[in-house]
Amino acid sequence: MELPGFAVWMFVCLYASVIGYPNGKVREACTSMVPCHGGSPQLSPEHTITVNGTEFKPGDNIEVHLSGPDFEGFFIQARDAERLDGPALGSFVLADRRHSQLLTCGRTKNSAVSHTSKVKKKDIKVYWVAPGDAPKHVQFLATVVKKYRIFWVKIPGPVVSQPDVLSPTPPLYATSEAMSTSHPISYISKPFSASSCGIMKFCIRNPTNCDPGSASCFFLSFQQEESSVFIEMSGPSEGYLAFAFSHDQWMGGDDAYLCVNEDHRVHVSTACLRERSHPLLDSENALEDVAWRFADGVLQCSFRRRIRLPAYQGRFNLDTSYYIFMADGEASEGGLIYKHRRQPLVTDGPYNVTGLPQDIGGSRAPRLIKAHGALMFVAWITMVSIGVIVARFFKPVWSHSFLLGKELWFQVHRMLMLTTVVLTSISFVLPFVYRGGWSHQAGFHPYLGCAVMALTIFQPLMAGFRPSRHAPRRQLFNWFHWSTGTTARILAVVTMFLGMDLPALDLPDPWDTYAMIGFVAWHVGTDVLLEIHSYCLVRKAEVIEDDRVQILQSLTSAEAEGRLFKQIVLTIYVCGNIVFLVAFLMAVNQV
């Protein structure tokens, strides 16, 4: 079954909106002469078409010259001046094969000319050969692409006529597609207001309850007006802002809207999202009352669209609940947008923007990823660190205190380490549940995380086979136990360093890095302080007992004299760890 022509054209345009036409193979645009770049054509042409004569006879050659400021692409045709929506007429002959090439539009061979590459050019010269069945009046038309998103469609050229034929009255001009397909664009005079949020508007703000006029507030609002919805979007971005409606919390099959800043001029367009790929910009714009503003690094745009748009493929009905995404990123000079460098803002559930007005926030980190980060912080900032300090320095202090039949230091150490195993195991599973498998976009973080998980499981298994205190293999066990634990701690800290800046969590920079460096310094400083204290006690007692100086630097009996000092240091250390932990958990909760 043959697809309708319109559907084929729409498919080609959506595909070409991603790859463009850098090689000039634009046959798919033969009829409309519209490049499938998304956005709207410019209204006032900067380029002109000239010819070397005003009359022609069948078989004559007419020199056609396109010139103007630097441009990357072009598309030239000749059409019946009295029926500009008709097919291309006649054929062309090239004057410069380096910058121009012949195309076949319809059944007429060589009936159009286009560029061969994106190399900038100022003028193009070709020759048009009049066909035997030429109409009385022929007009030359040109589409010119200055940059990817800056282009003019059907720039009108001169009208040439056959001899003894009166000039067309009134003069014929080609009409730009922009005049027939786009809506007027106006300028926003001031920042948006959040005063009606939750009353008349459905609003999303990040940070929660922020002022849209501030330079750090991402704002998105929807206000129903009869059969349409008026939408406002603003945020700190010099590239682009975008939002999308989605049936789930994953990119793919979504209805997207983009405001792209290009040379301080903002283009507003609709697009479809296909998995994790570049948005497919629509060739037709369903938006009305488009307005924009870019000032002090804050990008604003507003527009209106109907609640239901059955004629526009890919546009969702706005009377249904959806997850709502909001993203920002950089854009190139030609209007090409780059992947957002951080996780998009996502609502915590599906919402109907035409339903009850609400004023909600959003999160750039999914709940499962937040829980993953929080559990890892609890395990490795508090449990492991305190457990290591207790085992290393508190054996003589708590050796005569017992809990459930075992020495107190050993029970505290074992309890903290087993808790670490449980928390790490739970945390390890959460990203796989969220992603549905392995993440190939997280760099070294998942690989190091797997190594940490393996060492975390191996450590208590090895402890289960611990030899007795005076067994010959006890010293070998001590070495393995210490080296495995130390390796796991170092890898865990490195893994957390890498994970904090991943898009799925992305704690605020550079605060997160400084805080983690502070924690490492805090732990190392405490460790060094207690080591110095132990050394001083040994020197003071002047006792050297080789059988007690083990690889793990077991404390001698003389060190018990520093019990009070160690307890004070441990108390301060635990309090400091809790401060670091609370700071990290608050940061995780805010993203």
Q: Is it the case that residue 89 has pLDDT exceeding 60?
A: yes
Q: Is it the case that residue 520 has pLDDT exceeding 50?
A: yes
CB 497 within 8 A of CB 454: no
Q: Does residue 497 share a domain with residue 389?
A: yes
Question: 450 pLDDT band (50/70/90 cuts)?
Answer: very high
Q: Report yes or no on 172 lying in a domain.
A: no
- Read off the pLDDT of residues 476-513 as tens digits, 9 standing for 90 and up: 888 988 899 999 999 999 999 888 877 777 677 777 78
The angle subtended at Cα 570 by Cα 566 and Cα 574, nearest 5°, is: 175
Q: Is it the case that residue 407 has pLDDT exceeding 70?
A: yes
Q: Does residue 344 share a domain with residue 261?
A: yes
Q: Report yes or no on 6 lying in a domain.
A: no
Please state the rounded mean pLDDT for residues 153-160: 90
Q: Would you state the pLDDT for residue 51?
A: 94
H or E segment to which residue 375 belongs? helix 367-377
Please state the rounded mean pLDDT for residues 293-311: 90
C-alpha 110/C-alpha 101 separation (Å) is 9
Minimal CA–CA distance to 534: which of 433, 343, 393, 409? 393
Q: Report yes or no on 343 lying in a domain.
A: yes
Q: Does residue 128 share a domain with residue 145?
A: yes
Q: Does residue 347 share a domain with residue 221?
A: yes
Q: Does residue 375 share a domain with residue 349?
A: no
CB 343 within 8 A of CB 269: no
CB 305 within 8 A of CB 340: no
C-alpha 272/C-alpha 261 separation (Å) is 19
More confident residue, 338 or 83: 83
Please state the domain count of the chain: 3
Q: Domain boundary residue among 348, 363, 378?
A: 363
Please state the rounded mean pLDDT for residues 82-106: 90
Q: Report yes or no on 487 lying in a domain.
A: yes
Q: Would you state the pLDDT for residue 173?
A: 39
Phi then psi for 107, rounded to 5 degrees? -100, 0
Q: Report yes or no on 9 lying in a domain.
A: no
Q: Report yes or no on 239 lying in a domain.
A: yes
Q: Would you state the pLDDT for residue 175?
A: 38
Instruction: For the chain, give the mean pLDDT.
Output: 82
What is the number of helices (H) and of strands (E) in the chain?
9, 24
Q: Does residue 396 share a domain with residue 383?
A: yes
Q: Domain boundary residue among 161, 195, 218?
A: 161
Q: Would you state the pLDDT for residue 436?
A: 80
Q: Poorest-confidence range of 176-190, 528-542, 567-581?
A: 176-190
Q: Would you state the pLDDT for residue 542?
A: 54
Question: 409 pLDDT band (50/70/90 cuts)?
Answer: confident
The angle subtended at Cα 555 by Cα 553 and Cα 558, nearest 5°, is: 140
**The two structure tokens encoding residue 498:** 């890498």
C-alpha 102/C-alpha 65 separation (Å) is 15
DSSP code string of 495-563: HHHHHHTSTTT-PPTTHHHHHHHHHHHHHHHHHHHHHHHHHHHHHHHT---TTT--TT-PPPGGGGGGH
Q: Does residue 413 share a domain with residue 337?
A: no
More confident residue, 230 or 547: 230
User: pLDDT above 70 covers what percent of the chain?
Assistant: 84
Q: Are strands 73-80 and 359-360 parallel, antiparallel or unpaired?
A: unpaired
- Read off the pLDDT of residues 338-382 as tens digits, 9 standing for 90 and up: 777 677 888 988 999 999 999 998 777 778 888 898 899 899 988
CB 242 within 8 A of CB 259: yes
pTM of the entire predicted model? 0.56
Q: Does residue 203 share a domain with residue 350?
A: yes
User: pLDDT above 90 covers what percent of the chain?
Assistant: 37
Phi then psi for 464, rounded to 5 degrees? -65, -20
H or E segment to which residue 368 belongs? helix 367-377
Question: 525 pLDDT band (50/70/90 cuts)?
Answer: very high
Burial of 84 (0-12, 13-18, 19+ CB in 10 A): middle
Q: Would you state the pLDDT for residue 177?
A: 38
Q: Would you state the pLDDT for residue 167?
A: 53
> Which amino acid is residue 367, in one-letter code?
R
CATH number, domain containing residue 371: 1.20.120
Question: 306 pLDDT band (50/70/90 cuts)?
Answer: very high
Give one word for 351, left, alpha or beta, with left for phi > 0 and alpha for psi -120 to 50: beta
Question: 555 pLDDT band (50/70/90 cuts)?
Answer: very low
Q: Is it the case that residue 310 has pLDDT exceeding 80?
A: yes
Q: Would you state the pLDDT for residue 335?
A: 62
Q: Would you state the pLDDT for residue 39?
A: 64
Q: Does residue 129 share a domain with residue 68?
A: yes
Q: Does residue 372 share a domain with residue 353?
A: no
Q: Is it the case that residue 80 has pLDDT exceeding 60?
A: yes
Q: Would you state the pLDDT for residue 92?
A: 94
Please state the rounded mean pLDDT for residues 182-192: 74
Q: Domain boundary residue among 321, 348, 363?
A: 363
Q: How far is CA 81 from the centre of its chain?
A: 47
Q: Is it the case that residue 205 has pLDDT exceeding 60?
A: yes
Question: 417 pLDDT band (50/70/90 cuts)?
Answer: very high
Please state the rounded mean pLDDT for residues 139-158: 89
Q: Report yes or no on 506 lying in a domain.
A: yes
CATH number, domain containing residue 42: 2.60.40.4060
Q: Would you state the pLDDT for residue 551?
A: 39
C-alpha 40/C-alpha 338 separation (Å) is 20
Please state the rounded mean pLDDT for residues 225-253: 90
Q: Does residue 205 share a domain with residue 349?
A: yes
Q: Is it the case that residue 415 has pLDDT exceeding 90?
A: yes
Q: Would you state the pLDDT for residue 108?
A: 84
Instruction: Map tokens 């003069």 to a residue.
Output: 171
- Read off the pLDDT of residues 530-545 as tens digits, 9 standing for 90 and up: 888 878 877 765 544 4
- Read off the pLDDT of residues 250-295 as tens digits, 9 standing for 90 and up: 777 889 999 988 777 888 888 887 766 677 777 667 888 899 988 8
Burial of 503 (0-12, 13-18, 19+ CB in 10 A): middle
Question: 193 pLDDT band (50/70/90 cuts)?
Answer: very high
- Domain span at 398: 367-590
Q: How far is CA 272 from the centre of its chain?
A: 15
> Which amino acid is residue 562, in one-letter code?
G
Question: Can you tell me whether residue 230 is helix, strand or coil?
Answer: strand
More confident residue, 485 or 186: 485
Question: 25 pLDDT band (50/70/90 cuts)?
Answer: low
Q: Is it the case that residue 202 has pLDDT exceeding 80?
A: yes
- Read off the pLDDT of residues 101-125 as tens digits, 9 standing for 90 and up: 999 988 888 999 999 988 999 999 9
Q: Is it the case that residue 553 has pLDDT exceeding 50?
A: no
CATH number, domain containing residue 228: 2.60.40.1210
Query: How is the beta sheet containing 108-115 ordered, strand by strand?
Result: 100-105, 108-115, 73-80, 137-147, 150-161
Minimal CA–CA distance to 576: which of 528, 508, 523, 497? 523
Q: Would you state the pLDDT for residue 507?
A: 74
CB 343 within 8 A of CB 506: yes
Q: Report yes or no on 431 lying in a domain.
A: yes
Q: Does residue 346 share a domain with residue 247?
A: yes
More confident residue, 1 or 225: 225
Q: Are strands 100-105 and 108-115 parallel, antiparallel or unpaired?
A: antiparallel
Minimal CA–CA distance to 456: which of 387, 525, 512? 387
Question: 171 pLDDT band (50/70/90 cuts)?
Answer: very low
DSSP 8-state assignment for residue 348: S
